[in-house]
Structure 1
Amino acid sequence: MHALDRLMWLMDAPVHSVSAVIGTHLHDQQADDLATLFLRMDGGLSGLVGSYGYRQGGPLNSTHILTEAASLRVMPDRLDIGCNDAWETLTLPIGKHLMLDALAEEWRDLRAWCREGQIPQVQSEFAGHVMDVVFAAEQSAKEGGEIQLAVLGRNRGSGGSARL
């Protein structure tokens, strides 16, 4: 969920369709251990979200942004940019836990809205669009095909959607 939210926030473009594989594919357990989502967005943009859990070893959680000129890979502890057939880790003034720091910032933003009435960076329409994508991904995984979404908004502040 957080990787999807992050990808949609970074891309700042409505999702038009999603194809997904979700389920228990790596070992026998009662919870999903794999989720891979491929998203198509405005302007020919696309994104891939993967969350994988393993019985032994650490999980792999990443967000990838693909463009014609370069790619961005967001990992829990770093940002990588891919260009000219090579990956380079970006040196930025970021915390030790990039993804947790971003989530904490969202919670601080929500607290400021509750306490001070400050307009949150992430508005309800965007959150609704994220949930529409999650539900479409679940449907895609069950049906084995691409699910189209009817997009109503155009950006973070009004990125809502309605399912077809």
Structure 2
Amino acid sequence: MGKSRSEKNKARKARLADAERRREAHARLIVERSGDPQFVQRQTDPLTGDRTLSMSAQHPAAQDMRESMQELRRDFTERFGREPGPEDPLFFDPANDVPTAMSPETAATEFDTMLDTMASQIDDPMLRAQLRAAKDVGFILTESNMHLFSAHDIDEWEDALDRHLN
């Protein structure tokens, strides 16, 4: 026999209350991490809507990021025979002989290819599901960066992760 109208109503209210608790917890997390040098910070330009992410020197991954940036600089110098200037792209199109920003389509394809390659080489089902979820949604959500995303983004991530775990 199916659920009564009262039972369906209770279940709906419980789901809504749970969603509200998750959103409130997320809002608290955003406030707690705001300005904390141990976490990446996001600023939004009120005029353009452009978002900027910044990492302090105290961030746990700062040294890895510094090394990655040095590697990108070396790649640029090897490819174009000069140091990058302030107007040169950080991620350049390898098919061009002059520094040209990688198109969003090329960047998305590169990201997807990287995730597919990594997922095919990993035995851990959770990590494999996370890589496939990242391909679906276009970002990687972790405990340390979830304050940078909206509650809707987190729901989207969790739905994608559930799909790949089942």
Give the TM-score, by structure 2 length: 0.30
Q: Which one has a larger percent strand, Structure 1 or Structure 2?
A: 1
Structure with the greater alpha carbon radius of gyration: 2
Q: Which one has a larger percent helix, Structure 1 or Structure 2?
A: 2
